[in-house]
Amino acid sequence: MGLPLPEKNVAASTLRCTFGKLEIELDVPEGVWNPTPNGILLGELLESMDFSSESILELGTGCGVHAVVLGLRGAREMLLTDIDEEILSHAKHNLDKHGINTKTRFLVADWVQVDVSGYDTLIANPPYCVAGKDYRRYFIDTLILEAHKLVRPGGRIIFIHSTMADSPRTIQLMEECRMTVRILAEKDYPFRDYYFDDQPFMLEMAKVPGSYTVRNGVHHERLMVFEGTLPED
């Protein structure tokens, strides 16, 4: 089923992030996902973009790290979802703490099962290593397949995952959905310790084409931020 929830990823913390010129200090209470290198790289990328006057849907907002950046980068309105009310209350806390006055709605929803449409941009850092699903790509595939219901024609999805989730497969699925694909950012990171705690997981990852590289005995994954622009018709 996947890795156990790594304790340090859900322990209480105060996280200071520097994204370009933005200094952000997030309160992450116990039980809420601490942004990992995935969340940080996505945050850095979003900081370098302009979301002026866009409507944004973020699935699985967690502590709200990206919503803070999107608000500071001009988003006109945001809908932030997660699996429970308490997680969303902490995202709200972090938005308030940073004085984000973008019109924002918080909604408990099961991933893409959100009854909305027409958003300019959908943002996500989908669960994968700790997906809790037998089919580990569930959150990635459903995001791509259902995007047309949530995003307007010509709108886009921006999301991050590791090469361990099979990047060629992601690109192919987006293209099959007639999206125009761009890689907006990519960066290598050494494996996190908890990957090695689960040997079946390691074996599974070894079967994914291009999953990781080992350099000087150190395993590295490559995190990639994908943009898929939906067709106009």
Ligand X SMILES: C[S@@+](CC[C@H](N)C(=O)[O-])C[C@H]1O[C@@H](n2cnc3c(N)ncnc32)[C@H](O)[C@@H]1O
Residues that contact ligand X, how many (by CB under 6 A):
17
**What is the bridge-based pairing of β-strands 119-124 and 13-19?**
unpaired
Helix (H, G, I), strand (E, B) or coil at 139: helix
Stretch that binds ligand X, among 78-86, 144-152, 163-171, 225-233 (CB under 6 A): 78-86
Stretch that binds ligand X, among 18-26, 57-65, 165-173, 198-206 (CB under 6 A): 57-65
- Tell whether residue 6 is a contact of ligand X (CB under 6 A): no
Taking the least distance from each CB to ligand X, the nearer of 198 and 233 is 198
**What is the bridge-based pairing of β-strands 77-82 and 55-59?**
parallel
- Tell whether residue 87 is a contact of ligand X (CB under 6 A): yes
Q: Which amino acid is at 186?
A: E
Buried b (16+ CB within 10 A) or exposed e, 20-50: eebebebebeeebbbbbbbbbbbbbbbbebe
Binding mask 9-38 for ligand X (x = CB under 6 A): ------------------------x-x---
83, 96, 172, 215: residue in contact with ligand X (rule CB under 6 A): 83
- Tell whether residue 127 is a contact of ligand X (CB under 6 A): yes
Residue with the closest Cβ to ligand X?
60
CB atoms within 10 A of CB 137: 20
- Tell whether residue 162 is a contact of ligand X (CB under 6 A): no
- Tell whether residue 110 is a contact of ligand X (CB under 6 A): yes
Alpha carbon separation from 113 to 86, 101, 119, 138, 150 (Å, rounded):
19, 26, 15, 13, 9
User: Which value, in Å, is the radius of gyration of the alpha carbons in the chain?
Assistant: 17
Binding site for ligand X (CB under 6 A): 33, 35, 39, 59-62, 65-66, 81-83, 87, 110-111, 125, 127
